[in-house]
Amino acid sequence: MTQSKAGKVVWHDLFTSDRKRSMDFYQHIADWTYQVERATDFAWGGGEKDFVLALLADEAGAGFAETPPDNENGWIAYVEVPDVDAAVERVDALGGKTVRKPFEVPGVGRNALVRDPLGVPFGLSLSRHNFPVPHRQFGREVYVSNSGLFPEEFYVELFEWQVASKRDPGCVSFAGPSGDVVAVRYVSNVPTSSNAAWVPSIKVASVSNARSLAEANGARLAPLEADRTAQTHGFILCDPDGSLFALEVGLANSF
């Protein structure tokens, strides 16, 4: 891990019940291409299986996997930490829950899957590669919460995040140790089985054009209570598999 990655979202996995459909959808929306790698000990389910990497030019920022047993369809964000095992212990001490204990991904690093005190899943990662943070593919991570609650102390203690700006009580952005904004929290109803969710922001040239294209390919606007949320950050939609994602205008180095 490099210090510049600490506290940043360095990867996303998409758990999907129809990987081919999801790949086609995001290729249309985000102009991603794909590289299939054969894993001899697949991280999600074991055994020898294919793992799909999503690329934008030479940047790799996401992977596509068939939804593992006991998991839901959806995007999982991985945040960089200096020690995954120590971070998992802190998750439990801070009121979160371990979903999958630390495990090695050959050639990638060490990961774990956890939930915050509101039950929202996310990953912990210690990178053992030289790939940069995927700024060209993804923008700020978005936390939406039905209750208006956000476990701020949990994330501050775990990742050393700090409040970067507070436009109003319903919209707060957070910066990592480097000072870069990494996440934004909104108060809004979310169409998930839990009361809150982390939603990835996918960078596009035009939010309105990308929304139209997404809807033409089977997406729908997420039924958020506050339309202002979508207007402020960029549209939040459900993909054809029901996974939430946001659209954000931006190119590389846009932070």
SS3 at position 212? helix
Please tell me what DSSP assigns to residue 8.
S
Strand partners, 78: 11, 123
Average pLDDT for 238-252 = 85
CATH 3.10.180.10 fits 3-127, yes or no: yes
Q: Which two tokens stand for residue 167?
A: 């436009």
Domain ranges of the chain: 3-127, 141-249
pLDDT category at 31 given cuts 50, 70, 90 is very high
pLDDT category at 13 given cuts 50, 70, 90 is very high
Neighbouring CB atoms inside 10 A of 42's CB total 17
pLDDT category at 14 given cuts 50, 70, 90 is very high
For residue 211, give every residue at least 6 positions away whose Cβ sits within 8 Å of its Cβ, in sequence order, or none: 221, 235, 237, 247
Neighbouring CB atoms inside 10 A of 9's CB total 26
Sheet strands side by side (includes 244-249): 201-204, 244-249, 236-238, 220-221
Residue 189 has pLDDT above 70, yes or no: no
Share of residues in the chain with pLDDT > 90 (%): 60
pLDDT tens profile 197-228: 999 999 999 999 999 999 999 999 886 654 44
8 A C-beta contact, residue 5 and residue 80: yes
pTM of the entire structure? 0.90
Query: Do the domains 141-249 and 3-127 match in fold?
Result: yes
Q: Which fold has domain 141-249?
A: 2,3-Dihydroxybiphenyl 1,2-Dioxygenase; domain 1 (3.10.180)
Count CA atoms closer than 13 A to 226's CA, side-chain side: 17
Q: How many helices (H) and strands (E) does the chain have?
A: 5, 17
Q: What are phi and psi of 43, to 5 degrees?
A: -60, -30
User: Side chain identity at 204, as an amino acid letter?
Assistant: V
Average pLDDT for 66-84 = 91
The mean pLDDT value of the chain amounts to: 85
